[in-house]
Amino acid sequence: GENVEQHPSTLSVQEGDSAVIKCTYSDSASNYFPWYKQELGKRPQLIIDIRSNVGEKKDQRIAVTLNKTAKHFSLHITETQPEDSAVYFCAAIRAGNMLTFGGGTRLMVKP
Amino acid sequence: ETGVTQSPTHLIKTRGQQVTLRCSSQSGHNTVSWYQQALGQGPQFIFQYYREEENGRGNFPPRFSGLQFPNYSSELNVNALELDDSALYLCASSPGTANEKLFFGSGTQLSVL
């Protein structure tokens, strides 16, 4: 089955700096890679996703890059704000299969 | 458009008991998936229901079972509770079976003593 590893487990940045979270996956057939944000005590919410036929996708301050050859993908947050503080989860899936989540990254943005 | 709602929000049970958790899917979504999220970890897939039938299962024992009703709402049942079952149980709905663009509920926090 799929195995998704996520690094780092915690990340502390100063407000305005960039944050990068990296994930690797094991199943080369995986073709969909979402990122979820979970604030303390709240539900996970989808913030961005990318398919395997695309190398990069951006949405305002958030971007995701995918390297299929190396089987890794990354979340980039620019101009971080205190409200970006949360736990971020990457995930991977191949068609017809279940979604496998990484272990999560706790991002802390210091004002 | 209503979101995914789960009940109850918190539950305390003792080892060996049985529990039923409930989920109402987002309007227009016909697929419901259940996830277990232990403290400090990512959600783990339990199973998915589509048109009232189980449509995929993760690595969980048979004492984890579920149902989906004609209105697409769902139940998760856990028998013979163990201490390690203590976790946040998340329900997610989606408009199809591809497990993409999941909408999660706020979860049921289960504590097994």
A24-37 pLDDT, tens digit each? 999 999 999 999 99
**pLDDT tops 50 at residue A21:** yes
Q: For chains A and B, what is the number of CB pairs under 8 angstroms?
A: 54
Which chain A residues have a beta carbon less than 8 Å from that of B5? none
**pLDDT tops 80 at residue B56:** yes
What average pLDDT does range B16-39 have in this prediction?
93
pLDDT category at A107 given cuts 50, 70, 90 is very high
Buried b (16+ CB within 10 A) or exposed e, A32-41: bbbbbbbeee
A30/B contact by beta carbon, under 8 A = no
Among A4, A22, A13, CA closest to A86: A13
Give the C-alpha separation, A65 to A83, whole Å: 23
**pLDDT tops 60 at residue A7:** yes
Q: Do B101 and A34 touch (CB under 8 A)?
A: yes
Q: Which amino acid is at B78?
A: V
pLDDT category at B45 given cuts 50, 70, 90 is very high
Distances (CA, A) of A49 to A22, A39, A54, A98, B79: 14, 18, 10, 16, 36
Give the C-alpha separation, B33 to B76, whole Å: 10
Buried b (16+ CB within 10 A) or exposed e, A64-88: bbbeeeebbbbbbbeebeeebbbbb
What values do phi and psi take at B42, rounded to 5? -80, 155
What is the token pair recorded at A90? Answer: 């990457």
DSSP three-state, residue B99: coil
Which residues share a beta bridge with A77?
A19, A62
Looking at CA atoms only, how far is residue A46 from chain B in angstroms? 7
Q: What pLDDT score was predicted for residue B73? A: 92
What is the token pair recorded at A35? Answer: 């990122």
Q: Do B90 and A45 touch (CB under 8 A)?
A: no
